[in-house]
Amino acid sequence: MTDTPEAPPKPKSHGRLSISASLKPRDLMERQRVRGAWCAKIITLFPDAFPGTLGLSLTGKALDMGLWALDTIDLRGFGEGKHRNVDDNPAGGGAGMVLRADVVARALDHAAIGTPRDRARWPIVFLSPRGRPFTQARAQAWAGAEGLTMLCGRFEGVDQRVIDAYGIEEVSLGDFVMTGGEIAAQAMIDATVRLLPGVLGNQASTEEESFSDGLLEHPQYTRPAEWQGLEIPAVLQSGHHGEIAKWRREQAERLTQERRPDLWAAHLARGGKPS
Ligand code: SAH
């Protein structure tokens, strides 16, 4: 068996590279790919799952405009033998299959081409329920990097040796088990990409939202002013900016106390005071 696949698959690029020429104004803007744009490289057995929801709405527009880039790398292409096997039985026995270290390593080496070795500049992530929980702080750190490589697991996971040898961080979407890492990858990329400059129209909206100051966001309302006999809180219609800010702060604190005692304790420990 050889260590190099005869024809390593080309990464599939999404976004700007896949647009077709037309005379619509947005497409004209799309020609200007931003140099050195933030890039997510995704190693997966299911490249067709991408861009998925990332191709829609704000993240999709930003992808089309070249504000970020997405390369999927098909793990199958690095598999062993005629059947491109990627997995084998777990050592020590037990149910399910484990992704092979040698196969995953070949895909990681391929992904590493043209990327910095410094993990702070280019993290390598294995999506895993066993990982540290994904947080807004991590999304911010990733948005500050040049890009990242994500490995989507399937079956029982990945041979531990490749995780250790490549300095891969395991990150979890939450305390539940999914069948694969693809949805977790999309969720984390969405949270990261919306922090990149220019992706959201209104930058202020990332500064005031949940988690950005350690509290959950206050409730939101919009027209109609009365709906099924229910009114928007009067203070929000008062036009008094000081009072509105105070009300929002109180609501954020109340919700955080009620729903997330862990966040509330951390807020108090940081010197945040109840208002
Ligand atoms: N046997 C493993 C679960 C494997 S689930 C265990 O008990 O830890 C199959 C794959 O789905 C994992 O390798 C991972 O890539 C992905 N996955 C499942 N749940 C996830 C979660 N909460 N966060 C991130 N990835 C997850």
Q: How far is the CA of 100 from the centre of ligand 1 (A)?
A: 16
- Its pTM stands at 0.89
| Pocket-testing residue among 178, 183, 188, ligand 1, by greatest number of atoms within 8 A of Cβ | 178
Model confidence at 25, pLDDT cuts 50, 70, 90, reads very low
What is the per-residue pLDDT for 112?
98
CA-closest residue to ligand 1 atom 11: 180
Closest CA to 106 of 222, 36, 6, 220: 6
* Cα–Cα distance measured from residue 269 to residue 261, given in angstroms and rounded to the nearest whole number: 12
The protein residue with its alpha carbon nearest to ligand 1, atom 26, reads 128
Which of 187, 194, 244, 199 shows the shortest CA–CA distance to 219?
244
Q: Which residue has the higher pLDDT, 200 or 208?
A: 200
pLDDT of residue 272: 82
| Cα–ligand 1 centroid distance for 16 (angstroms) | 31
126 Cβ neighbours under 8 A, 6+ residues apart: 150, 151, 153, 158, 163, 168, 169, 170, 171, 181
Compute the distance from residue 183 Cα to the ligand 1 centre, in Å. 10
261 alpha carbon, distance to own chain's centre: 25
- Six-digit token pair at 91? 């050592």
Q: pLDDT tens digits, residue range 236-251?
A: 999 999 999 999 999 9
The pLDDT of residue 26 is 43
CATH number of the domain at 212-269, out of 2.30.30.830, 3.40.50.300, 3.30.2350.10, 1.10.1270.20?
A: 1.10.1270.20
Q: Render 156-212 in DSSP notation, one character per residue.
A: T-B-HHHHHHTTPEEEESSSS--SBSHHHHHHHHHHHHTTSTTTSS-THHHHSSTTT
**pLDDT by residue (tens digit) across 82-98?**
999 999 999 999 999 99
In the structure, which protein residues have their CB atom closer than 6 angstroms to any atom of ligand 1? 127-130, 152-154, 156-157, 172-174, 176-181, 184
Lowest mean pLDDT among 90-99, 106-115, 149-158, 197-206: 197-206
pLDDT confidence of residue 22: 44
- Interval 252-275: pLDDT, tens: 999 999 999 999 999 999 988 776
Q: Whose CA is nearest to atom 22 of ligand 1?
A: 129
**CA of 154 relative to ligand 1 center, distance in Å:** 7
Whole-number mean pLDDT of the chain?
90
Say if residue 72's pLDDT is above 70: yes
Q: Which two tokens stand for residue 214?
A: 């350690």
* pLDDT over threshold 50, residue 4: no
Asked if the domains at 12-193 and 212-269 fall in one CATH topology, the answer is no
Q: What is the pLDDT of residue 206?
A: 81
pLDDT digits (tens, 9 = 90+) for 155-191: 999 999 999 999 999 999 999 999 999 999 999 999 9
Q: What CA–CA distances, in Å, run from 270 to 24, 53, 207, 248?
A: 50, 36, 18, 20
Question: What are the residue boundaries of the structural domains of the chain, listed by start?
Answer: 12-193, 212-269
Task: Determine the residue of 46, 75, 127 to mutate for testing ligand 1's pocket, defined as the one with the most ligand atoms within 8 A of the Cβ atom.
Answer: 127
If one looks up domain 12-193 in CATH, what number appears? 3.40.1280.10
Strand bridging mode 12-14 / 68-74: antiparallel
Q: Is the pLDDT of residue 77 over 70?
A: yes
What residue has token string 């040796």? 161
